[in-house]
Structure 1
Amino acid sequence: MAETRPDRSRDAAFAWIAAIATLATILVANVAPARGPAPHPVATSPAEDPGCREWTDSCRVCTRGADGVHCSTPGFACQREALRCTGR
């Protein structure tokens, strides 16, 4: 009965190809120039948007003034909604 052996040269070739592809990826990631300036962070709420002077969540109203942010007191049975800018 003849013994079958796996083709070790083929396995070695695949191992070398995988190693070279990994090294090439690492080199390209570290050597390639960056693509322009980093994007500006997007304001996630009106309170973080410097262009929004007044915003509300239907419970309280907040305003941005020279001396900081001031918010009203929410009502007793208030049901909050998503923040939205009401004045620029």
Structure 2
Amino acid sequence: MPTSQNRDGLVAWAVAALVVATVLIGTFAPSSHGRSGRGSPAADASCAEWSDGCTICRRYGDGIACSMPGIACVPKAELCQRHSGE
């Protein structure tokens, strides 16, 4: 019969393994919607700012920066909000 201390250690290792597995799945699982692709504002060099209703992305001289989505946001189609020079 396992002692309480052995059981606590087993539970701690199980929780740690679950956390590691969750992080790895989140890191390596393919995204359900991408930031770039054919016909998307990210692929259009003239689009300076676009949004999917959850995140806002802006094109800068050295790359693209996007905001974090809200906790309960459901993304829609990406639309260009502002073109270069506007």
Q: TM-score under structure 2 normalisation?
A: 0.52
CA-to-aligned-CA distance 1:14-59 (integer Å, 9 cap, x gap):
xxxxxxxxxxxxxxxxxxxxxxxxxxxxx51000000000000000
Q: 1:80 aligns with which of 75, 80, 83?
A: 75
Q: 1:47 aligns with which of 36, 42, 47?
A: 42
Q: TM-score under structure 1 normalisation?
A: 0.51
> What is the CA–CA distance in structure 1 between the aligned matches of 2:55 and 2:48, rounded to whole Å?
14
> What is the CA–CA distance in structure 2 between the aligned matches of 1:87 and 1:44, rounded to whole Å?
16
> What is the CA–CA distance in structure 2 between the aligned matches of 1:54 and 1:77, rounded to whole Å?
22
State the 1:67 CA deviation.
1.4
Aligned length: 46
- Partner in structure 2 of residue 61 of structure 1: 56
Higher Cα Rg, which structure = 1
5+ residue gaps, structure 2, are 1-37
The residue matched to 1:86 in structure 2 has which SS?
strand
Moved over 6 A (4+): none
Identity across aligned pairs (percent)? 46
Alignment RMSD:
0.8
CA-to-aligned-CA distance 1:54-80 (integer Å, 9 cap, x gap):
000000000000110000000000011
5+ residue gaps, structure 1, are 1-42
